């Protein structure tokens, strides 16, 4: 492994957790490919992706690309090669065949779902919304979306309808376990000792990009449905309802005797507070 030249494609906190686990196992990429800095928060402050921050801290070369679909991007990546393999984890964009063809041994993807379930952009949030279990699949990427053969897969967590995980807890758990799985399987895969398994494409389910309006709650829905939305969208876009014209983001909630109990909220323009305190202040 230490003689291999490899690049990592990733963007989010999930990507950084994978990188940290690989680092602990003694495996560091020679290049990190990520997206451009973007405005974030209410003040739209230009913010680098988490993987760029991590790469600079670890003194690893990093390149940021607007798109992978142009020859200039292919040429720039190749200028840092030749590469033995690529690893992709939460990059956020489809990797075109022109990029997949660069490394000699292929490209591995760490995907936090039990493929072929939940192919696509939001597997963790969608698992919270629609499933009662999930895990990590490590696969070889091909031109399809999460379509390639499975290298290794493991179910890691199950839950009840009244105790679904919060997104950030699930992300940490799947990231740490996925990184350990990758570090363990990678040497054997590189030596051709792993038999890849074709996915059962008849069982595919898909999950798309999350939009801001997906977070709106209907408080007339069942407690379980609203709890799933609150915990799936806890980081972004935030699950919310309107009290009059005021938008109220629900940060913490639980189910008690089949009833949704809201614990913590962020009223529009204010800081996070206890929901009972908010109601008292709102009524007064």
What's the start-to-end Cα distance of the chain, in Å?
A: 65
For residue 164 the two structure tokens come to: 């679904």
> Which stretches of the chain drop beneath a pLDDT of 70?
1-2, 283-284
Q: Cα separation of 228 and 263, whole Å?
A: 15
- Residue among 147, 5, 182 nearest 79 (CA): 5
Neighbour count for residue 160 (Cβ, 10 Å): 9
Residue 121 has a pLDDT of 93
For residue 64 the two structure tokens come to: 């940021």
Distances in Å between the alpha carbon of 267 and those of 177, 234, 244, 247? Answer: 36, 15, 12, 6
Residue 1 has a pLDDT of 61
pTM (2 decimals)? Answer: 0.93
Residue 61 has a pLDDT of 97
Could you identify the residue written with the tokens 């758990």?
Answer: 173
**Which positions ≥6 away from 134 have C-beta within 8 Å?**
112, 113, 114, 118, 123, 124, 127, 155, 156, 157, 170, 174
């Amino acid at each position: 492994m230490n003689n291999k030249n490899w690049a990592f494609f990733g963007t989010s906190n999930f990507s950084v957790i994978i990188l940290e686990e690989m680092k602990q196992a003694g495996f560091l990429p020679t290049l990190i490919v990520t997206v451009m800095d973007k405005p974030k928060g209410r003040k739209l402050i230009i913010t680098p992706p988490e993987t760029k921050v991590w790469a600079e801290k670890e003194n690893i070369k990093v390149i940021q690309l607007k798109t992978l679909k142009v020859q200039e991007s292919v040429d720039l990546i190749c200028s840092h090669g030749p590469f033995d393999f690529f690893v992709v984890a939460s990059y956020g964009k489809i990797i075109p065949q022109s990029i997949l063809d660069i490394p000699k041994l292929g490209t591995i993807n760490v995907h936090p779902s039990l493929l072929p379930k939940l192919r696509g952009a939001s597997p963790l949030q969608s698992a919270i919304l629609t499933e009662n279990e999930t895990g990590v699949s490590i696969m070889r990427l091909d031109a399809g979306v999460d379509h390639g053969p499975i290298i290794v897969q493991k179910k890691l967590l199950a839950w009840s309808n009244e105790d679904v995980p919060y997104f950030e807890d699930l992300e940490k758990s799947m990231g740490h376990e996925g990184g350990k799985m990758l570090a363990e399987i990678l040497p054997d895969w590189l030596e051709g000792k792993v038999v890849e398994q074709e996915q059962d494409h008849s069982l595919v389910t898909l999950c798309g990009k999350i939009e801001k309006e997906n977070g709106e709650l209907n408080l007339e829905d069942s407690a379980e449905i609203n709890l799933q939305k609150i915990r799936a969208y806890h980081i972004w876009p935030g699950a919310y309802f309107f009290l009059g014209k005021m938008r109220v983001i629900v940060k913490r909630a639980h189910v008690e005797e089949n009833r949704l109990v809201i614990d913590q909220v962020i009223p529009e323009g204010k800081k996070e507070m206890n929901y009972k305190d908010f109601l008292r202040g709102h009524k007064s």
